[in-house]
Amino acid sequence: MLPFMTWNQPFRSMHSPDRRTLLTRTAGAAAALAIAPGMEWLPAAVRPREPLDVALVGVGRQGRAILAELSKIENVRVAALCDISESRLKAGLRRAPAAKGYETHAEMLRAEPGLKAVIVATPSHSHRAPTVDCLAQKKHVFIECPLATTAEDAALMREAARAASVVCAVGMQGRSNPIYALARSFLRGGAIRTVTSMRAQYHKKTTWRQPATDPAEEQALNWQLDAAHSLGLIGEFGIQQCDVFHWMLDQYPSSVLASGAVLTYDDGRKVADTVQCQFAFPSGRVLHWDATLANSFEGQYELMLGEMGSLKLAWTAGWMFKEADAPTQGWEVYANRQQFHDEQGITLIADATKLAAQEKLKEGVGLPNPPLYYALSDFLRSILENAPVVCTVDEAARALSVGLAAHRALQTGASVPIESETK
């Protein structure tokens, strides 16, 4: 059985017991309070006995991040890289020198019949072709989020995934994040009671524009700023963050209002650099989401407030804030706390029982790897252990329908109903 996940870390006071006694008590409290199966910090359970040959289609910024995370996983061999840009392909081959390089995924599939799995990290609007073609060749496929940028592409990808008897997963990273899984177990267990308010944000100060000397290369590099292909901030970050709430609540919103504009980067772009959305759920809850490329204050997070507490999740860390009238359960004396102005947050620590037994509990604050690492590990686990896919193409298509509705709301300024993708 895999180790449990919970949170606990010694909280020292003038009357604290000695460190060994406190760690022993903490480990006991962690075991008693554990309410969800854990996830390993390193993917030992997904290590194949023989090297698993994996290909990467798209060696841009996200593709290079994927190569960095794959390099941490034992016996996974990057056998092929594919990119239409010679410079990006060469940069990728420097990171994976054992791989062979190809310009197109069709050429790669013809030359590499032994490939077992393919990771698609091309620009979002070009996910369909490599996904459908690789599934037709019975390759396991991992698709970066978002699934696509049109409902038509998403429908074709869903059909291809349903017809193929292979693993097809989409990189909704919140679903694989150990801290988020822990928070979900607390939410489902009633730790904060009824959720009454939700908000999330993506704040990062960046132009989102990549320089190039050649006009054609400049256009290709900056596809996110091309209104003909890009869903903008909603597509690239909003879908990923909204899916956290879909997964946590097991519910999708029914309508959305949105507004936004180019407020900072007056460089001819038509894609808004600042956006706000309000997603209305059938339960009466509303999720407020905003994003900007003009300011980085408080970064990226999701927040759920309930009558007995709040959960704040920031991708590599998470906290629970208890209300003053919330019942105490005894473990609070051992919990690690972090001060946020006038509030104290209890740090969510994955795999606390195991870390406490090793006297390494303090090392558990924050994830040791980026969230992308856990999404890739789950994909490999699904291949090697026939484990359920963490995010299916069907779920990703539903999340895309939310993003598409928000994009239409941004364009029209009107409330847009969100169609359910359940067929």
Q: Which residues contact 330 (CB under 8 A, 6 or more apart)?
A: 29
- For the cut 50, the answer to whether the pLDDT of residue 310 exceeds it is yes
Please tell me which residue, 67 or 42, carries the higher pLDDT value. 67
The dotted CATH code for 44-174 is: 3.40.50.720
Q: Which of these CATH numbers, 2.130.10.10, 3.40.50.2000, 3.30.360.10, 3.40.50.150, describes 178-366+399-417? A: 3.30.360.10
Of the listed ranges 4-13, 58-67, 186-195, 290-299, the least confidently predicted one is 4-13
Q: Mean pLDDT across the stretch 103-128? A: 98
Distance CA 308, CA 287 (A): 19
Q: What are the boundaries of each domain within the chain?
A: 44-174, 178-366+399-417
Model confidence at 337, in pLDDT bands (50, 70, 90)?
Answer: confident
Q: What is the mean pLDDT of the chain?
A: 87
Model confidence at 420, in pLDDT bands (50, 70, 90)?
Answer: low
Task: Kindly report, residue by residue over 378-389, the tens digit of the pLDDT.
Answer: 999 999 999 999
What are the backbone dihedrals phi and psi of residue 53, each rounded to the nearest 5 degrees, phi first?
A: -80, 120
Q: Residue 365 has what pLDDT?
A: 74
Tell me the sheet residues that pair with 259.
276
Q: What percent of the chain has pLDDT over 90?
A: 74
Model confidence at 334, in pLDDT bands (50, 70, 90)?
Answer: low
Q: Mean pLDDT across the stretch 168-178? A: 97
Distance CA 261, CA 131 (A): 33
- For the cut 90, the answer to whether the pLDDT of residue 240 exceeds it is yes
Distance CA 360, CA 124 (A): 40
